[in-house]
Structures are given as C-alpha cells and as structure tokens.
Amino acid sequence: MNEADLKPAADRLPYQGLPARRLAEGFDLLKGFKVIDLTTSVAGPVCTLLLADMGAEVIKVERRETGDDARSWGPPFLHGDSLWFLSVNRNKKSISLDYSKAAGLAVLHDFVRTADIVVVNQPSRIAKKLGTDADTLTALKPDLIYVSITGFGVHGDRSDQTCYDLVAEGYSGIMDITGELDGDPQKIGAPAADMLAGQDAAFAAVTALLARNRTGSGRVIDIALVDSMTRFLMCRIVPYMGSGEVPRRSAGKDSVIAIYQTFQTADQPLTLGLGNDGIWRRFWDVIGQPMIARDPRYQSNADRRALRAEIVALIEPILKQRSCAHWLTLFRQARIPAGPINRIDQVVDDLHLQERGLFYRLLDGDIDIPQVGTGIMIDGRSNSPRSAPPELGQHTAELLNEVLQYDRETVQRLLAENVI
C-alpha cells in the first residue's frame, strides 16, 4: 500500500484516490517502429505520446541543461516536476544532447538512421540551420517519415514566424466566435490548436507508415497549428462560404440545430440538444407540454430556428422549476441528448470515465503521478502505461549503448565535450 493511501481523504491530492496502474505492456500496434522526437512544449509531444501509447519506441531528444520547455511550466509542480510536462510525455525515453555542436549532430544523425519517424517543431529556417530539415534527414534515410509541426507550415510568407496555441487560435477564427455576444473574444480553455495539430501529426505519420509498407517510400509531412485549428471550424466556415452569413459570438447559443445550448435549472445548468423531430416531440412530452410539439409553426428545424428566441423563452421557465438531476434522469430515460456542465474535479471523479481507463494513478517504484489515458479502447480494453515520463537525459547512456552501440570511450568523450 502506498503512503498516500493511508492519508485521510481530505488530505489527499485529487489523483491519489484514482485507480492505480503499474507498468504493463500496453497497446502494441506500433511495436517495432522507432520515433525520434525533437519537439518541445505540447503539439509535438502530443503527437509522439500518441505514437508511444500505440507501442512505438519514442526517443525524446532534449536540450542538455533545460530540456523540453514544458519541464519549466508551472506551478503547479508535483515532486518537482511540471504537471504540464507529465501530462504528455509518458512511454518515452529521454536523451540530453547538444546537436548544435558538430559532434552532437553526428550523434543525432546516427539516431535518425535507425528511425522510422522523426518529428520536429522548428521553423524551416531553424531546422535547416541545425541540420534537422527534411532534405538533410531524408538524405540519411530515404524511407524516413519526416513530420514537421509549426505554427504556419514550412513554406510561405509566415513560415518563419513563431507561434503558440494562443496565436493559432486567434488566426483560426475560433476566438472570434467564442464568448459572450458583447464580450471579448475568448481562447478555448485548453491548448486546442496544439492538441489538434499533435493528433493530425500522429494520424499522418501512421498513414505514411502504411503507405511505406506498400511503396517503400518515405514522406515529408507538414502540419501547421493554424491549419489544424482552422479545420476544426469547418462546420462554421463552409456554411459561411455558402451563405455569406458571418458567425458571431453568441455565448454558445447559436447553432444550426435550433435548440442546442445551455439552460439553467433550479440549481445547476445543463446542456440540451433537440437535434431532430423525434427528439423535439419526446422533449415536450417529458416536460408535460405535448401540444407545443404539435404547433404547426415548429414543425421543422428551419421553422424552429426562425423562432428560436420564442422557443427558448418557453423552455427556460419550465426547466427552472426542477433540479438538474431531476431533468437529466427524465431526459436519459426518454433518450433526449442532455448533460451536466462539469467542473474539472467532477470530470476526474466520474466513475464511468475512470472505468474506461481515462484517469489513473501511475505507480512505478517511487514514482506516483496522475495520468490521463489514451482515450481509445482496443479489443475491449483501455491502454496501460509502459513507462513514466522520463527525467531529463534519463536514458542517454542506455540509448547510446543499446541503439547506437557506442563504446564506453565514445560516450566518455561526448560527456567531456558537453555534448550529452
């Protein structure tokens, strides 16, 4: 039993009550493939986390003294480690390497020759300067899958601009349609552009691997945060392009579905989506107003959109009469899409999500940290961690010896030259 298990519940950190998972084999769909991760922050590490979670061997190459930028992102910290870093770096091995030096670049290139995929998040000018650009690395290994993740892509007028998630969200249009009608534009409450770009990069890398199995050829993949975030808005952008109607901020109360928003109940708000005629009729039956469903003015979604404000005014006072739990019970029974608006602590406490392996406590010797799972079930089971997020340079000697088969004298020379 871990020491934290003996603490009174009130004294525990939130993760210390989660289901515990020790290291196991985990998913092995990409077992045998090797990934060199030259990225930092969030988007690139998300990409390589997904590849690692699916079984790939990921070698995380970090700066000698500071490592991944996210290692310093805090507070909050846990056991001296950034929780942001811990969230996206399990199942990887870390090597500290200064490849701005010729000797370090030679080591990196040796690793590239062993790899199937290389992931970078440097603007093309910087990558070329450092010897990590696509032309250089694919010349070393022609069947390499080279994945670049940048703010704006590797070509064009903006290719050299630096970018963070916040900047990408602003460019994409998502901030302009998020928030109150008369309020300021708002960033999404998570690094959405980073997460989407990381997922796109992982997806593209795996499809390139499949193509390589057929053709024998590598690929150069160009992922841009702004592209990924903008594609996220396709269901708002295409209607604009085909209608000329520019979407505006509406506090989430404007949708192609007539009634698709939050409502206040007697205690807590809930979400409600009346997405088709059957749901529309069942809703009014459940709340005791079946005649409204038969009103000829409300017979199609287009009709209801035209009279949205009028319908919302009918629904609001009814839902305020009873509690959120009361309505959600009735709506669940009647198959009406609705749900609570959970705080993060309530999400983590959700037993259904815990049972699906989404939240757990990773235990490995003295390591005891919170994790969010892969979020994918395969053959009826969730994933298991193969290793905890690494300490900076934790696997340097191991990787030089086992992957590159460097002898002791070579490793000592690299140490003396401050390359590793």
Same structural domain for residues 209 and 297?
A: no
> Is 23 part of any domain?
no
Instruction: Give the per-residue pLDDT at 1.
Output: 44
Whether residues 124 and 40 share a domain: the answer is yes
β-pair type (367-372, 359-364): antiparallel
Residue 126, pLDDT score: 94
Handedness of CA 251, 255, 258, 259 (dihedral sign): negative
| Residues 199 and 290 occupy one common structural domain | no
Residue 334: pLDDT band by 50, 70, 90 thresholds?
very high
Structural domain ending residue among the three candidates 309, 340, 371: 340
- State whether 46 and 169 are in the same domain: yes
Spell out the long-range contacts of 124-131 with Cβ–Cβ below 8 A and sequence spacing 24 or more.
Answer: 124/148, 124/150, 124/154, 124/155, 124/159, 124/160, 125/159, 125/160, 130/99, 130/100, 130/105, 131/99, 131/105
**251-277 pLDDT tens trace:** 877 888 999 999 999 999 999 999 999
- In this structure, the answer to whether residues 202 and 311 fall within a common structural domain is no
**Same structural domain, 64 and 200:** yes
Please state the rounded mean pLDDT for residues 30-39: 98
Same domain, 199 and 122: yes
Question: Which stretch of DSSP H or E encloses residue 37?
Answer: strand 34-37
Answer whether residue 365 shows pLDDT above 70: yes
Task: Count the domains in the chain.
Answer: 2
What is the mean pLDDT of the segment spanning 76-103? 97
| Domain final residue pick, 312, 340, 368 | 340
Q: What is the pLDDT of residue 4?
A: 53
* 231-240 pLDDT per residue, tens: 999 999 999 9
Q: Is 336 helix (H, G, I), strand (E, B) or coil?
A: coil
Looking at the structure, tell me whether residues 94 and 193 fall in a common domain.
Answer: yes
Q: Is residue 61 part of a domain?
A: yes
Indicate whether 322 and 395 sit together in one domain: no
Residue 358 lies in a domain: no
Q: Which of 310, 340, 370 finishes a domain?
A: 340
Q: Return d(Cα 83, Cα 16) in angstroms, integer.
A: 14
**Residue 377 domain flag:** no
pTM for the model stands at 0.94
Q: Are residues 193 and 51 in the same domain?
A: yes
CATH number, domain with residue 274: 3.30.1540.10
pLDDT at residue 184 in the model: 92
pLDDT at 251: 82
Task: Mark whether 267 and 319 lie in a shared domain.
Answer: yes
Residue in 194, 222, 227, 368 annotated catalytic: 194
Which domain covers residue 125, as residue numbers?
31-232+390-416
Whether 37 is catalytic is no
